[in-house]
Amino acid sequence: MKTWPSVGRVSQLSSADTETPEATAPQIDEAREAVLAEVTARLGEGVVGSHIRPGDDLWIRVDRANWVAAAEAAKAMGYRFFDFLSAIDWLPSPFGRDMDAQEDRIVSGAPAKEPEPMVQGYAGGETRFQLLARVYSITAGMGITFKCDLPDDDLTAGTWSNVYAGANWHEREAREMFGFAFEGHPNMINMYLPADFVGHPLRKDFPLLARRVRPWPGIVDVEPMPGVADEEGEGE
């Protein structure tokens, strides 16, 4: 059996295996970087935040004074397809996130949990309430999600409906469900709720009165099935 001398034998662990690998270089999405640069050139200091997820999406946060200007800029740049406009309440829900919700625990006498901190997602934010709208360019094959901070004491912004007609009913829904107002909207009336309805159901602090009266549906069935009560009565 032939043996090999130990001198000159190559170790199974090379220097490359023991060296600390260099940090992976961040990905660069030149197309979305160019879009962000053009929007910034058009709006200037009106752009207050942004985030690019390479190969996926672009978020741009603008100040309230430039909310309508952002729509006009996007459409002029070829983003002619209106996807959606909505609102978001970043307040952590005081009712919890599971079946055994916080409201149920409060009613039962258990102590409430400490509220979670607000995190405003991509492109950041400084307020509890934000507007979001997304437009898309079929030619470029990419979209832009715009965000805008609105202060709690003045949930007002200009309407996008004069730029993108499809924003009309989206803004009506945001008004009805969150209490936002859109200056210049041609027909700001409720879509779902009675005109005299009090409150805005998609706000995190909107009281779910049904939960104060009975547990979460499915946990306890407080109503007997039809016929069951009669059958039980016959056996007594």
**pLDDT, tens digit, for every residue of 166-217?**
999 999 999 999 999 999 999 999 999 888 888 898 988 887 665 555 454 4
CATH code: domain of residue 54:
3.30.460.80
39-53, 66-80, 81-95: which range is least confident on average? 81-95
Tell me whether residue 20 is in a domain. Answer: no
Tell me whether residue 77 is in a domain. Answer: yes
Taking only the tens place, the pLDDT of each residue in 108-162 is 555 666 667 778 889 999 999 999 999 999 999 999 999 999 999 999 999 999 9
Tell me whether residue 139 is in a domain. Answer: yes
Tell me whether residue 223 is in a domain. Answer: no
Q: Say how many domains are in the chain.
A: 1
Distances (CA, A) of 183 to 60, 64, 162: 22, 12, 11
Tell me whether residue 182 is in a domain. Answer: yes
Tell me whether residue 56 is in a domain. Answer: yes
- Prediction pTM value: 0.72
- Find out whether 182 and 188 touch, Cβ atoms under 8 Å: yes
The parent domain of residue 202 ranges over 27-209
Is it the case that residue 105 has pLDDT exceeding 90? no
Beta bridge partner(s), residue 130: 88, 149
Q: Which pLDDT score, from 0 to 100, does residue 117 have?
A: 77
Q: Where are the alpha helices (DSSP H) in the chain?
A: 15-18, 30-43, 67-76, 102-107, 167-178, 209-213, 228-235
Tell me whether residue 57 is in a domain. Answer: yes
Tell me whether residue 5 is in a domain. Answer: no
Beta bridge partner(s), residue 157: 182
